[in-house]
């Protein structure tokens, strides 16, 4: 299954962490300068009110008057404090912007990927299908669709609960993804329905994929039977026809899926009628 547009979650998180470290360092510098400013102010006040006693004790001599030197020191410290404080504010704004970007990217990814099955949601299907139809018609390549519907899924929810139902859905989605290529798309179309898009796939290739899905799901069911209910799927394969809309393609695949579902039910009833009374 193709991945959604790349979300730089890890990269953004790393940048946020770097900004946090940088911001913390600037905060330490700010407090250091604040303490230094306090010391300078105390010394300046002492030198201002007691210039002779303070500056000439122990042979200390300066060429500037204490008052001028005090003003220079205070201006320097205030400028340094302003610079560091400004850096902290800018760093905080940059950090807030990165966090907002990350949150927006996470929301976008969440809207594209179904939380239960980890496949594309129906909300992105329209754009995916439109893009693949356009590419298929432009390159004169085939595009196959497979509609998938779980059989007996309502009984799973009724007898084993929705938690088990979600587990079955996630497992079926995992099998569907493992049955296709990385360039293909698996979307959750409805409650227990999935639509698979197979670009550059003709009818023979689509049938191979369809049979592979049947076999893998049957194998999973033998090993992971949910109570006494067998889990299987009905799969409808359809090839896009040039000039046809995506909605029409989906409707045709859906119709073929229901045709297979009816055939499965007829076969099950036939087998039941053949059992000894």
The string of pLDDT tens digits covering residues 143-153 is 999 999 999 88
Residue 253 · residue 235 · CB < 8 Å: no
Residue 196 falls within a domain, yes or no?
yes
Neighbours of 122 (CB within 10 A): 13
Going 74 to 80 to 84 to 90, the CA torsion angle's sign is positive
> Could you tell me the two tokens for 247?
């909605």
Say what the pLDDT of residue 266 is: 83
The C-alpha atoms of residue 193 and residue 22 are separated, in whole angstroms, by: 49
Shared-domain flag, residues 42 and 133: no
pLDDT in tens, 174-187: 999 999 999 999 99
Beta bridge partners of residue 232, listed in sequence order: 151
Residue 260 falls within a domain, yes or no?
yes
Mean pLDDT of 123-150: 95
The C-alpha atoms of residue 210 and residue 214 are separated, in whole angstroms, by: 6
The C-alpha atoms of residue 110 and residue 267 are separated, in whole angstroms, by: 41
Q: Is 0.95 topped by the overall pTM?
A: no
Residue 193 · residue 147 · CB < 8 Å: yes
Shared-domain flag, residues 31 and 134: no
Number of domains in the chain: 2
Residue 2 falls within a domain, yes or no?
no
> 60, 92, 112 — which closes off a domain?
112
Residue 50 falls within a domain, yes or no?
yes
pLDDT in tens, 185-209: 999 998 899 999 999 999 999 999 9
> Could you tell me the two tokens for 92?
């905080």
The C-alpha atoms of residue 192 and residue 151 are separated, in whole angstroms, by: 9
Shared-domain flag, residues 138 and 194: yes
Residue 4 falls within a domain, yes or no?
no
Shared-domain flag, residues 49 and 148: no
| 9-13, 76-80, 161-165, 224-228: least confidently modelled range | 9-13
Residue 29 falls within a domain, yes or no?
yes
pLDDT in tens, 65-122: 666 666 666 777 677 767 666 666 666 666 666 566 555 555 555 568 998 999 999 9
DSSP string, the chain: -PPPSP--HHHHHHHHHHHHHHHHHHHHHHHHHHHHHHHHHHHHHHHHHSHHHHHSGGG---SS-HHHHHHHHHHHHHHHHHHHHHHHHHHHHHHHHHHHHHHHHHHHHHHHB-TTT-SB-GGGHHHHHHHHHHHHHHHT--EEEEEEEEETHHHHHHHH-HHHHHHHHHHHHHHHHHTS-TT-EEEE-SSSEEEEEEET--HHHHHHHHHHHHHHHHHHHHHS-BTTB--EEEEEEEE--TT--HHHHHHHHHHHHHHHHHHHHHHHHHHHHHS--
Domain, as residue range, for 205: 122-274
Is the pLDDT score of 237 beyond 90? Answer: yes
Residue 1 falls within a domain, yes or no?
no
Say what the pLDDT of residue 156 is: 86
Shared-domain flag, residues 57 and 135: no
Query: Between residues 170 and 265, which one has the greater pLDDT?
Result: 170
Say what the pLDDT of residue 161 is: 86
Shared-domain flag, residues 95 and 212: no
Shared-domain flag, residues 249 and 129: yes
Shared-domain flag, residues 102 and 146: no
Say what the pLDDT of residue 7 is: 39
Shared-domain flag, residues 100 and 144: no
Shared-domain flag, residues 65 and 147: no
Is the pLDDT score of 138 beyond 80? Answer: yes
> 94, 112, 130 — which closes off a domain?
112
pLDDT in tens, 7-61: 344 455 565 566 556 666 666 666 666 676 666 666 666 666 666 555 554 554 5
Query: Between residues 51 and 268, which one has the greater pLDDT?
Result: 268
Shared-domain flag, residues 35 and 102: yes
Shared-domain flag, residues 180 and 131: yes
Residue 67 falls within a domain, yes or no?
yes
> 112, 130, 146 — which closes off a domain?
112
- Which CATH number belongs to the domain containing residue 172 in this structure? 3.30.70.270
């Amino acid at each position: 299954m193709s991945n959604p547009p790349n979300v730089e979650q890890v990269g953004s998180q790393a940048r946020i962490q770097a900004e946090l470290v940088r911001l913390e360092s600037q905060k330490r510098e700010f407090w250091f300068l604040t303490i230094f400013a306090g010391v300078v102010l105390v010394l300046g006040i002492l030198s201002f009110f007691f210039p002779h006693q303070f500056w000439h004790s122990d042979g200390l001599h300066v060429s500037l008057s204490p008052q001028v030197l005090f003003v220079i020191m205070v201006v320097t410290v205030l400028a340094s404090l302003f610079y560091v404080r400004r850096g902290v504010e800018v760093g905080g704004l940059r950090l807030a912007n990165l966090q907002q970007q990350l949150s927006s990217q996470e929301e976008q990814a969440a809207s594209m990927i179904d939380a239960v099955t980890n496949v594309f949601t129906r909300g992105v299907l329209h754009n995916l299908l439109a893009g693949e139809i356009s590419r298929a018609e432009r390159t004169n390549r085939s595009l196959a669709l497979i509609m998938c519907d779980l059989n007996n899924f309502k009984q799973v929810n009724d007898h084993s609960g929705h938690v088990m139902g979600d587990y079955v859905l996630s497992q079926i989605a995992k099998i569907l993804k493992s049955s296709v290529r990385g360039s293909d798309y698996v979307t959750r179309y409805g409650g227990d329905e999935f639509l698979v898009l197979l670009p550059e796939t003709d009818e023979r290739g689509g049938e191979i994929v369809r049979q592979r899905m049947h076999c893998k799901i049957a194998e999973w069911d033998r090993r992971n039977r949910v109570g006494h209910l067998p889990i299987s799927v009905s799969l409808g394969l359809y090839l896009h026809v040039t000039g046809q809309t995506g909605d029409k393609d989906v409707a045709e695949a859906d119709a073929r899926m229901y045709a297979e579902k009816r055939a499965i039910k007829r076969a099950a009833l036939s087998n039941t009628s053949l059992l000894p009374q």
